[in-house]
Chains A and B, each alone.
Chain A
Amino acid sequence: MLKAKNILTGAHFLNGDVACAEAALVAGCRFFAGYPITPATEIAETLSMRMPELGGIYVQMEDEIASIAAVIGASYSGLKAMTATSGPGFSLMQENIGLAVMTEAPCVIVDVMRAGPSTGQPTIPGQQDVMQAKWGSHGDYGIIALTPSSVQEMFDLTVEAFNLSETYRVPTLLMADEIVGHMWEKVVIPPMDKVRIVNRKKPSVSPEEYKPFLPDDDLVPPMACFGEGYHFHATGLTHNESGYPRTSSAEDQTRLVNRLCDKIQKNADKIVRVEEVMLDDADVAVVAYGIVARAALSAIKKAREKGIKAGLLRLITLWPFPEEHVAKVAQHVRAIAVPEMNCGQLVREVERAAKETPVTFLSKLGEEPHTPTEILDAIRRAA
């Protein structure tokens, strides 16, 4: 009960980074390892203050590579664990994100996206890491990435990210942008008993019978942790269901890599979330995500005022890509517009899912996201 009280249930005025930190605590995260980087630093600062109050651990590592490595270690020691970073740090983490995928370590990585490439514009928003989220580490794998459009959603999706990560034993990415991270808005933190919390499946067999990478029907193996007497081995090498290296077996490589992809793709209908606004009778659809979707919402409303039937498909899940939702919308509209704060990344996925339906792309780089007027102009041209 006391612990529940220490969660800040109630209405607050917070910025996105702080909302994310408070959500992690609500989700049961008790380990944070990170390295300071704009515009994600406030997540680390908040958790350095708040973690110990709830009995959790904050550790500042020597770099982002170490941060994600420590997070995987803490996850294998049984704690819900996270790190938070931005583009340059996200790049450094990629190899160990692959390790977390391969060893099926539940963990959450927050990327508050700034403008890249390289050091780029540290205080300026971007959506330039969304393809890296899917393809950043070498090899084939499935991953989950969510993207918030508001400070409330920064809170809600952080909790959701932990739940998905624990359910599927996969690193789950929260792809925010600098505006959502630094913007101040009202956030309602519900009472603990109203929050859905998911914890990883534990083995139901004896240590002698336990195979750490033998999946259940949902393709996810139950997870023993260090110190529980299971004496299991985990490795970044291709391994069999007992966890032992199989570095030249085509059969083990095929089975393992396919399962790592399938456990996300075949559960996509349970993972994927979108918001559909005024799409039922729409002639033109805008597909948008993050802060850009806020401008897109204004734009479709303005279009409706001018007699153009426009609707919005707001992506909440980026990966696995909401392919079926886009395909369904594409069947009913004449054209789709995709505004992104990059040079054209997720638009490629939209085009693939939209098939014959024409897709217009609106790029925006630098200080501000698209204005509603810019998106409205695109809607007009498409209509």
Chain B
Amino acid sequence: MVQEMAHPFSKYLRAEMMPHIWCTGCGNGVVLNCFAHALDELQFDLDKLVVVSGIGCIGRTAGYINADSFHTTHGRALAFGTGVKLANPELEVMVISGDGDLFAIGGNHFIHAARRNIGIKVLCANNLNYGMTGGQQGPTTPLESITTTSPYGNIEHPFNLVHLAAASGATYVARWTTLHVRRLTQSIKRMLQKKGFCFIEVLSPCPEIYGRYNKMRSGLEMMGWFRKASVIDSFSDPSKAEITPERIAVGEFVDVEKLSYERMLHEKISKINEEAMEKVS
């Protein structure tokens, strides 16, 4: 007899949205799984969670999580999330999106959200290229990588995302790969317990597209690269944490406390509102 078993995380997922759209060997499922684990370990109140994403493969995550969710236009998840968080600071706004969405078309929103220190938590799946459109070079594509729009090798220097996030003012910055599932889960939990702007980059394999052009044709081969090159180097200088074929510095890079934008704003509003009411009463 085959027994029907409920998925242990079915309460966090929308069954009607399955199967997901992701390719074999893609790391996005691992990112989603780690996020669900973190929610479960924290017994997180799903009524308080809003998942926001932009466009791209990982952008579909918003539709898969059984909380309030919104799938915005390309690059605008953080700007949309800013409105959500300010209008209702009780909500936990979780932006789950990709490297192209957050750092090319949405790059301006990222640096300003971090600068304001708005309490949005960003989980970025970095697959080193534009996967959904078929593998074009993007803001994180390594130098000399072959993609469908850098057929002779990429000559643009990639962003070092943890350095960018730290320099822009994020209060929590970490980088892991989909190999580091337990550490990633712990990092997401840490992020969900913090108040200010937080950023986690997860290197996520894209073997079907990025890997295919760069001599790593399977998920296993890409994970092999992560395993070989990853070095846990927590609280080291994020400016020295560039991703190279030989070395992927992972770990937590920043964990500081700073008053969040929404707290400063709402404290000001309360004070001004009270004074205005006294004036008219």
Q: How far is the CB of B110 from chain A (nearest CB, A)?
A: 10
Q: Nearest Cβ in chain A — how far from B261, in angstroms?
A: 9
Which residue on chain B has the smallest CB distance to residue A235? B71
Question: Cβ of B70 and Cβ of A103 under 8 Å apart?
Answer: yes
Q: Does B10 make an interface contact (CB < 8 A)?
A: no
Are A62 and B112 within 8 A (Cβ)? Answer: yes
Contact residues of A between 50 and 76, Cβ < 8 Å to B: 51-57, 59, 61-63, 65-67, 69-76
Contacts of A99 on B, CB cut-off 8 Å? 72-73, 76
CB nearest neighbor in B for A236: B73
Say yes or no: A79 contacts B17, CB within 8 Å: no
Residues on B with beta carbons closer than 8 Å to the beta carbon of A53 = 272-273, 276
Question: A6-B280, A59-B82, A63-B108 in contact; A233/B273 too (CB < 8 A)?
Answer: no
B79 interface residue (CB < 8 Å to A): yes
- B159-194 CB contact bits vs A (8 Å, 1 = yes)? 000000000000000000000000000000000000
**Across the interface, which residues of B come within 8 angstroms of A52, CB to CB?**
268-269, 272-273, 276
Besides the known contacts A66-B82, A77-B88, 16 further A-B residue pairs in the complex with CB atoms under 8 A apart: A31-B83, A33-B83, A51-B269, A59-B82, A70-B79, A73-B79, A73-B83, A73-B87, A76-B84, A77-B91, A99-B76, A226-B50, A227-B88, A233-B69, A242-B16, A245-B63
Residues B86 and A74 in contact, CB atoms below 8 Å apart: yes
For the complex formed, measure the closest distance between the CB of B107 and the CB atoms of chain A, giving whole angstroms: 10
B82's contact among A2, A73, A76, A98, by CB below 8 Å, is which? A73
In the assembled complex, which residues on chain B have CB atoms less than 8 Å from the CB atom of A2? 277, 280-281
Residues of chain A within 8 A (CB-CB) of B86 are: 31, 57, 59, 70, 74
The CA-CA distance from A56 to B81 in the complex, in Å, is 17
The list of the 3 closest CB pairs from A to B, nearest first, reads A73-B83, A70-B83, A77-B87
Q: Does A230 contact B (CB under 8 A)?
A: yes
- Assembly CA distance A3 to B84 (angstroms): 24
B91 touches A95 (CB 8 A): no
Residues of A within 8 A of B270 (CB): 55
18 contacting pairs across A/B (C-beta < 8 A): A6-B276, A6-B277, A6-B280, A53-B273, A54-B273, A54-B276, A62-B109, A66-B76, A66-B109, A69-B72, A70-B86, A71-B83, A74-B83, A76-B70, A77-B91, A96-B76, A231-B68, A233-B71
Query: A171 to B269, alpha carbons, bound, how many Å?
Result: 27
| Contact in complex: B71, A234 (CB < 8 Å) | yes
Kindly name the residue among B66, B67, B68 whose own CB sees the greatest number of chain A CB atoms within 10 A.
B68
Q: Contacting B70 at CB < 8 Å: which of A30, A67, A70, A233?
A: A233
Question: Which listed residue, B60, B80, B273, touches A72 by the CB 8 Å rule?
Answer: B80
Q: What CA separation (Å) do A57 and B89 show in the bound complex?
A: 12
For the complex, is A184 an interface residue (Cβ under 8 Å from B)?
no
Q: How far is the CA of A291 from the CA of B76 in the complex (A)?
A: 36
- Residues in A neighbouring B4, C-beta threshold 8 A: none
A226 to B87, CA, bound (A): 10
Which of A57, A67, A229, A234 has a CB less than 8 Å from the CB of B265? A57
Summarize B's interface: helix, strand, loop or mixed: helix
Give chain B nearest CB distance to A105 CB in angstroms. Answer: 10
B83 in contact with A69 (CB, 8 Å): yes
- B82-101 vs A, Cβ < 8 Å mask (1 yes, 0 no): 11111110110000000000
Q: What total of chain B residues lie within 8 Å of the partner, measured CB to CB?
A: 45
Nearest CB in chain B: distance from A81 CB, A = 7
Q: Mark A209-230, 1 if CB is under 8 A from B, else 0.
A: 0000000000000000011111
Q: Report A-chain residues with C-beta under 8 Å of the C-beta of B268.
A: 52
- For residue B198, CB closer than 8 A to chain A, the reply is no
Q: For A59, list chain B residues within 8 Å (CB).
A: 82-83, 86, 265
Residues of A within 8 A of B112 (CB): 61-62, 66
Nearest-CB residue, chain A, relative to B71? A235
A108 CB to closest chain B CB (Å) equals 14
Q: Are B73 and A227 in contact (CB under 8 A)?
A: no
Interface assignment of B30: CB less than 8 Å from any CB of chain A: no
* CB contact under 8 A between A77 and B83, given known A65-B76, A227-B48, A244-B17: yes
Residues of A within 8 A of B276 (CB): 6, 52-54
Residues of A within 8 A of B265 (CB): 57, 59
Q: Which of A6, A79, A235, A245 is within 8 Å of B87, CB to CB?
A: A79
Q: A233 is contacted by which of B63, B87, B280, B281 (Cβ under 8 Å)?
A: B63
Task: Flag A136-158 by CB within 8 Å of B: 1 or 0 each.
Answer: 00000000000000000000000
Known: A69-B72, A71-B83, A227-B90. A57 touches B269 (CB 8 A): yes
Contacts of B82 in A (CB 8 A): 33, 59, 61, 66, 69-70, 73
Q: Which residues of B contact A61 (CB under 8 A)?
A: 79, 82, 112
Q: What B residues does A236 contact at CB under 8 A?
A: 71-73
Taking CB atoms and an 8 Å cut-off, the chain B residues in 26-66 that contact chain A are 46-48, 50, 52, 60, 62-63, 66
A10 and B250 CA atoms in complex are apart in Å by 63
Any A CB within 8 A of the CB of B14: yes
Q: Which residue of B lies closest to A30 (CB)?
A: B87
Decide yes or no whether A237 CB sits under 8 A from chain B: yes
- For A61, give the chain B residue with the smallest CB separation: B79
Instruction: Tell me which residues across on chain B come within 8 A of A237, comparing CB atoms.
Output: 71
Which of B17, B46, B50, B72 has the most CB atoms of chain A within a 10 A radius of its CB? B72
B108 touches A226 (CB 8 A): no
In angstroms, Cα B63 to Cα A187, docked, is 47
Does A28 lie at the interface of the complex (its beta carbon under 8 Å from any beta carbon of B)?
no
Assembly CA distance A56 to B272 (angstroms) = 10
Q: How far is the CA of A53 from the CA of B277 in the complex (A)?
A: 8
Chain B residues whose CB sits within 8 angstroms of the CB of A33 once the complex forms = 82-83
The residues of B that contact A65 with a CB separation of less than 8 Å are 76, 79
Which residue on A lies nearest to B111, using beta carbons? Answer: A62
Query: B81 to A73, Cβ gap below 8 A?
Result: yes
Task: State the Cβ distance, B44 to closest chain A Cβ, in Å.
Answer: 13
CB neighbours of A95 from chain B (8 A): 73
- What is the CB-to-nearest-CB distance from B102 to chain A, in angstroms, rounded to a whole number? 13
- In this assembly, does A5 line the interface, its C-beta being within 8 Å of a C-beta of chain B? yes
Docked Cα-Cα span, A52 to B265, in Å, equals 9
Say yes or no: B91 contacts A231, CB within 8 Å.
Answer: no
